[in-house]
Amino acid sequence: MKIAQQWARAVLCLVGGAWMPVLLSGCAIPIAAAGVAEVQVRLVHVAPNTPPLDLEVGGVKVARSVAYGSVSEYTRLPTGEYDILLLATPETSSASQVVAKTVANFRGGGVFSVVAADEPNRVTALVLEDNINPLFDQALVRFVHAAPDAPPLQWQGERGRVLIPQLAFGQASTFQAMRPGFTQVQVFTVAPRIPLQRFDLQLEAGKVYTLYVAGLLRSNPSLSGVIAEETRARRLL
């Protein structure tokens, strides 16, 4: 893409982390050309049994070797429409393989997570728009169902409070205000209602998070929680 190529020439050192929308390390944060509106993008890897992934945006590799269950740092990019590739390098080969691709239009000032999801033979690159506008005295938490073999899940907080009645695989909730401090969240199957995994969270007021339920219900790796903080993007503003 022209915009990515122009931006790549402008930098001195490239860096090389309802869900129904349309998923970064190195020497320095790239600096967009003067007058070009910016976005922030990271990679979230929640595709079980998939090797570490690179993220390529508009022909520029902006994340490298992000392992399953990990979240990269945000990286700044010029606003625009981009081809997005998720790349894996098998241990037996030096050539990268494209495991997923999509196209995303990053609007100016937005903050986004590119999420690698699903099982190895059908990895999907999904794009979530993140929220970096916290509440002063509360934590904001979004919940994402990223366990590909699990049925729809219900999310429940302390004292039986239902946070999210139902999410199917590949869906995300809206951001929910939650009390800061230590709390527990448990997921249940919806029909029949069976308790599954419980997650311990330490939340801070004035921060925004997304909790991904990743892994597999009937195999390994088992269900686990991957927490990603959105307000980390504010450091690059």
Least Cα distance to 213 among 168, 165, 157 occurs for: 168
pTM strictly above 0.85: no
What would the mean pLDDT of 35-50 be, rounded to a whole number?
90
What would the mean pLDDT of 15-34 be, rounded to a whole number?
35
Strand arrangement of the beta sheet that strand 224-229 belongs to: 176-178, 139-145, 208-214, 224-229
Strand arrangement of the beta sheet that strand 60-66 belongs to: 60-66, 53-57, 80-88, 97-106
Is the confidence at residue 1, as pLDDT, over 90? no
The reported pLDDT for the residue numbered 189 is 96
Q: Could you report the per-residue pLDDT of 188-228, keeping only the tens digit for each?
A: 999 899 999 999 999 999 999 999 999 999 999 999 999 99
Question: Confidence band (pLDDT; 50, 70, 90) for 6?
Answer: very low
Dig out the tokens for 79 from the structure.
């606003």
As beta bridge partners, residue 141 has 176, 209
Determine contact, residues 209/191, Cβ cutoff 8 Å. no
**Strands 176-178 and 139-145, bridge-based pairing:** antiparallel
**Strands 139-145 and 208-214, bridge-based pairing:** parallel
Is the confidence at residue 117, as pLDDT, over 70? yes
**All structural domains of the chain:** 2-129 (2.60.40), 139-236 (2.60.40)
Amino acid in position 61:
K
What is the rounded CA–CA span in Å between residue 195 and residue 187?
6
The reported pLDDT for the residue numbered 21 is 36
What is the rounded CA–CA span in Å between residue 226 and residue 71?
8
What is the rounded CA–CA span in Å between residue 184 and residue 211?
12
The reported pLDDT for the residue numbered 95 is 73
